[in-house]
Structure 1
Amino acid sequence: MGEVDHYIERIQAAVHTVFQQMQPELLEVVHSYELTPTQFFVLIYVNKKGSCKVSQLAEHMDVKPSAVTLMIDRLEQHKLVEREHDKKDRRVVNIRLSERGKERLKQLIGARKAVAQRYLSSLTTEELEAMASITEKLAQITVFDKNEEEEGKC
């Protein structure tokens, strides 16, 4: 086994352990706000986009639009999202976060951040900087690979 393989095994084992410990707490936080993890994902996605169509959300989640419609119905019942007709084409319905949805998402992200802070509190500032740089680099690679993959579909 090469040196790189050894590092990869160490990283995989450590990441697995950390996520195994954090995941139940992160899920509990989401559930405490009366949301499912998928609904949380939808709120994050819609917030990031500002607004989006059901078809865009379905494509991003790799599910059928009907499944997204049901989820949006539930989120709308809880007054977390709003549907609005497109000004250019009234047949198109856009989904956006309501003010209540924005506030709930802000609170939820803060609560999840508190969990992460507990786990990361033993790291030094230098270690946090290194971890931030490495994870940002990994995230950038992942986004780049996904964009290349999507371009290949055209």
Structure 2
Amino acid sequence: MPMKQQKGFHLLNSCLNMRRQLNKLLSSGDLSQGEYLVLRNIWLSNSDLSSCGKQGYIKAADLSDMLELSRPSITRILNDLEHRGFITRSIDKEDRRSVKIELTEAGIRAIEKANRGILSIAERLVASLGDSDTDKLIDLIDKLTEIYKEMLDEKGVRSDE
């Protein structure tokens, strides 16, 4: 096998291994990765709206679009989160076609705990790599992201931020 192909396979294998390990680490808490991402987006949405004085909520369709997950997957995650007491769903009185998704106190505690865990992981990575290597890694990951976006654009696939 030519050296270029070996490097390419090694790069892809390293990326896949890193992703697998990170997924295991992130899923080792009280929330699955999907639950965390859904709760985080509900939490951020509610925070963004309340900071500008608006009372608002996020819809399941918005979560599906933001996270690029199918509607049935989002519904399944929301059902689990509701069953665990982390969210409530109710019909919007102003727009009866919309369902309001809101965090409960337990949901807020769960997302804050998960955020602390993720921050701890990030701090440990920075401490292990050092500032210089961390900056290099961030630059390389950003560069990879841009290359992936270009490749998606070439294929005509939407590359949302």
Shorter-chain TM-score bucket reads 0.5 to 0.7
Aligned to 1:46: 42
Residue segments in structure 1 that go unaligned for 5+ positions in a row: none
How far apart in 1 are the matches of 2:33 and 2:122?
17
How far apart in 2 are the matches of 1:17 and 1:119?
16
How far apart in 2 are the matches of 1:69 and 1:22?
25
Is 1:105 matched up with 2:111? yes
2:84 to 52, 59, 78: 78
How far apart in 1 are the matches of 2:3 and 2:121?
36
Aligned to 1:133: 139
Higher RCO (CA < 8 A, seq sep 6+): 1
State the superposition RMSD in angstroms. Answer: 3.4
Does structure 1 retain, via aligned residues, the 8 Å contact 2:61–2:71? Answer: no
Does structure 2 retain, via aligned residues, the 8 Å contact 1:86–1:94? Answer: yes
1:121 to 117, 124, 127: 127
Q: How has the CA–CA distance of structure 1 residues 73 and 149 changed in structure 2, closer, same or farther, with 3 Å as cutoff?
A: same
Residue segments in structure 2 that go unaligned for 5+ positions in a row: 47-56
Does structure 2 retain, via aligned residues, the 8 Å contact 1:22–1:115? Answer: no
Q: How has the CA–CA distance of structure 1 residues 123 and 70 changed in structure 2, closer, same or farther, with 3 Å as cutoff?
A: closer
Does structure 2 retain, via aligned residues, the 8 Å contact 1:52–1:95? Answer: yes
TM-score, normalised with respect to structure 1: 0.65
- TM superposition shift of 1:128: 0.7
Does structure 1 retain, via aligned residues, the 8 Å contact 2:26–2:33? Answer: no
TM-score, normalised with respect to structure 2: 0.63
How far apart in 1 are the matches of 2:69 and 2:76?
14
Aligned length: 143
